[in-house]
Structure 1
């Protein structure tokens, strides 16, 4: 990954990953930032794909647990829009309600964050 590390780029409001937050979480260790982002990218892709392919009637607990995992890892790297969307999805799933809006918002937030990670890697 070739992250832009000047303060202006790290705090760009349009970036769906808060790189300043990530830097604080990793105590400024750039190698660790790369590793954590790579792990998040793999996990987010996997969970997002799994949630998309689960049958409509799939167990709401499974959906909620996947969203919960995604929420935690998204918060850790500073993908706060993903974390919020995953939280909404999790609450709906735990309530036994699967609203299309929650699923759509989560998929959109994931696509934006994963797209930003691809740009950072490029």
Structure 2
């Protein structure tokens, strides 16, 4: 039996739960880059999950504006690449925080990025298990 692509699994999800305001990952967007190849989707999603955790650690540990901006920018790009729009938005908001006296705001943004990452990871795991 052939494996379903992530886009096919997502297509079976109710329409009101799809897209930028629905699922944590837009698999239709991802399929444009992976040509709908299930193994490539799996590899890209695995890289996203492992690298995002490292980048989140870098964001949390950032000591300078440049370190902060670089980590947030990388998280934003990774999220956009797979269609994790909520995470991309959280990372974009984090990236905009630069300057002194922002530690409380930065901490809140890290929490938002982490929450959206955890949501994306859980959704990815669910989709991959259903294949």
CA RMSD of aligned residues (A): 2.5
Aligned length, in residue pairs: 118
Gaps of 5+ in 1: none
Q: Partners of 2:125 and 2:51 in 1: how far apart?
A: 14
Structure exhibiting the larger radius of gyration computed from Cα positions: 2
Work out which structure has the larger RCO, using CA pairs closer than 8 Å and 6 or more positions apart in sequence.
Answer: 1
Q: TM-score, normalised by structure 1?
A: 0.80
Q: Please name the residue that 2:83 is paired with.
A: 78
Match of 2:122 among 102, 106, 115: 115
> Measured at CA, do residues 3 and 115 of structure 1 come closer, stay the same or move farther in structure 2, by a change above 3 Å?
farther
Q: Partners of 2:121 and 2:49 in 1: how far apart?
A: 7
> Measured at CA, do residues 19 and 76 of structure 1 come closer, stay the same or move farther in structure 2, by a change above 3 Å?
same
Aligned pairs for 1:21-100 (under 5 A) are: 21-52=29-60, 54=61, 58-92=63-97, 94-96=98-100, 97-98=102-103, 99=105, 100=107
